[in-house]
Amino acid sequence: MAKRSRPEGCCDLKAVSPLPKASERRLAAMLKAVADPTRLQILRVVNAQPGPVCACDIVDRFDLSQPTISHHLKVLRDAGLLTSRRTGLWSFYEPDREGLARLAELPSLISS
C-alpha cells in the first residue's frame, strides 16, 4: 500500500504519554456518567447541599419516576462521583470528593 504524502503545512505531532489504563477507564466512566443531562443535574443538586441528601428529595426535584432516579444515582455512584449510605429504607447521597477531584483534573490530562 502506497504511503500518502502529507499536505503542505502539516507538522509532526508531539509525543503524549498514554494515561494508565485504570485511570483512562475511570475517567471515561465519569465523563459518560455526567454526559447525561439528568445525571449532571442530580450531581449539581447533591453537590450544592451542605450535607447528605435523601433519595426522596432528589426524586421530588425531577419529573421522573423513582426507579429512573435510582438508576441515575447508581450510575453516578458506580462512576465514583457520589457516595451513599442507607438509613432504614432510604439512601442518602453525598458527593465523592475524591471522584470530583479526579474529574477536575481533566483539563490537565488532555493538555499534557
**pLDDT score of 4 more than 70:** yes
In a domain, 27, yes or no: no
Domain total for the chain?
1
User: Structural domain of residue 51, as residue ranges?
Assistant: 39-111
| CB-CB contact of 91 with 53 (8 Å) | no
The per-residue pLDDT for range 13-24, each reduced to its tens digit, is 788 888 889 888
Q: What is the distance between the alpha carbons of residues 9 and 58, in angstroms, rounded to a whole number?
A: 53
In a domain, 33, yes or no: no
Please, what sign has the CA dihedral across residues 100, 101, 102, 104? positive
| pTM, 2 dp | 0.82
Instruction: Name 84's bridge partners.
Output: 93
Per-residue pLDDT band at 112 (split at 50, 70, 90): low
CATH of the domain at 85: 1.10.10.10
In a domain, 52, yes or no: yes
The per-residue pLDDT for range 24-75, each reduced to its tens digit, is 898 899 999 999 999 999 999 999 999 999 999 999 999 999 999 999 999 9
